[in-house]
Amino acid sequence: MILTAPAGAAHNARPYLYSGAEAALAEALRSGRYNHSAVTDEFENAAAGFLGVPDTVAVASGTAALHVALLAAGVGPGHEVIVPSFTFCATVQAVLATGARPRFIEINPATLCVEPAEVLGALTSHTRAILPVLYGGRAVDLTAARPALDEHGVTVVEDAAHAFGSYEGTRRVGATGALTCFSFGPIKNLTCGQGGMVVPRTPLEADTCRRLRGLGIVESAAWRAEATTYTVDGFGMRVQMSSLNAAIGLVQLQHFAEAEAKRRDLWRAYAAALDGIHDVALVDVDVDRSVPHLCAVRVLRDRERVFRTLREHGIGVGTHYPPNHTQPAFAEWHRPLPVTERVGQQAMTLPFHQHLTEADVDRVAGELRRALTAGAAR
Ligand SMILES: *Cc1c(COP(=O)(O)O)cnc(C)c1O
């Protein structure tokens, strides 16, 4: 572990870097090849092996992964993309980047994930994709909606920014037939410093994603060897993953079994410590199958006061997400979403990262219990 600054419960989230990352980064720096390099290929192959898929495409961020995946799925102007309002704004911005419109839907308040019935209710003749968000790491099973989605030609593009390593049934998320997007940002389950990844469904889709991430240039052997000529085959952006980030990600992936175990243990410790606290509902991440990205609760009364009290006691709580349909940028697509609005006022994330100890968890739970009791006594 190479991040030595004070950690503990003061931080809501914090990267955890394994010791090999420093040497790997130094070596990548010395190579002089900072764009795509053999290290990027190695990271893509290692991630594919880990997920149990034929191929992966590494990109600069989770947001870029969503943008590339939506374009690869043929999403563009005139189309609608179904998306939960309760997500990071990046999900919605990726939709806008394609020229399509977001169609906001509700979530299940127990899981903060979308349900098949809500998805089906939002389908129109313009729908081109549905973007389920795997909140907290929990897989979203849309099997019940599949026949209708297939019939309408709707692609499932998973925002699995929270869910690297989680399972849906017996397969890792990414290996279940959806077009899946991961984020490898600083605080995600696997970090590259910054980064993201698309898991394409076919070799053709993989090819499309590679051109979209790299200025439309055909990634031939000559291109890889940095030959003087290249072919530009169509539209493309400059969102490849830097080899510097890939070098970090490769080391982090080698240690993922430790990360996975630690995150599950921490989440279970929270579940035990929060048990019996009134007016606090733990958001269910399906911990046996998930690699938890966070620990979110719904505070059923006085969230603002509880939040402030915890912050005053040095506990790094967070409130997310402000529902996107209430954001000025997305006002055009506002519709009433009462469940999401209520959850937006209740949701609070507790400190959750791999520097935490079980003693930290107990302290957080104790302070939360005290904050609620103090309020009730008034
Ligand atoms: C982090 C995140 C993203 C975006 O990933 P970046 O790597 O930060 O671009 C998208 N959606 C969700 C739900 C996220 O948490």
The pLDDT value given to residue 5: 57
Please work out whether the CB of residue 324 comes within 6 Å of at least one atom of ligand 1: no
Asked, colleague to colleague, whether 8-254 and 256-377 share their fold, the answer is no
Please list the active-site residues.
188
Domain positions in the chain: 8-254, 256-377
187-205 pLDDT tens trace:
999 999 999 999 999 999 9
Q: What spacing in Å lies between the alpha carbon of 90 and ligand 1's midpoint?
A: 6
Please work out whether the CB of residue 185 comes within 6 Å of at least one atom of ligand 1: yes
Strand segments, DSSP code E, in the chain are 57-59, 80-84, 101-105, 127-130, 155-159, 167-168, 171-172, 179-183, 196-199, 280-282, 295-299, 347-350
CATH topology of domain 256-377: Aspartate Aminotransferase, domain 1 (3.90.1150)
Ligand 1 atom having least distance to the Cα of 184: 7
Which CATH architecture best describes the domain 8-254? 3-Layer(aba) Sandwich (3.40)
C-alpha separations of 109 from 51, 275, 280 in Å: 29, 18, 13
User: Best substitution site from 114, 183, 248 to test ligand 1's pocket, by max atoms within 8 Å of Cβ?
Assistant: 183
345 φ, ψ to 5°? -90, -10
Percent of the chain with pLDDT over 70: 95
24-61 pLDDT tens trace:
999 999 999 999 899 999 999 999 999 999 999 999 99
Percent of the chain with pLDDT over 90: 91
Q: Is the pLDDT of residue 365 over 60?
A: yes
Q: What spacing in Å lies between the alpha carbon of 315 and ligand 1's midpoint?
A: 24
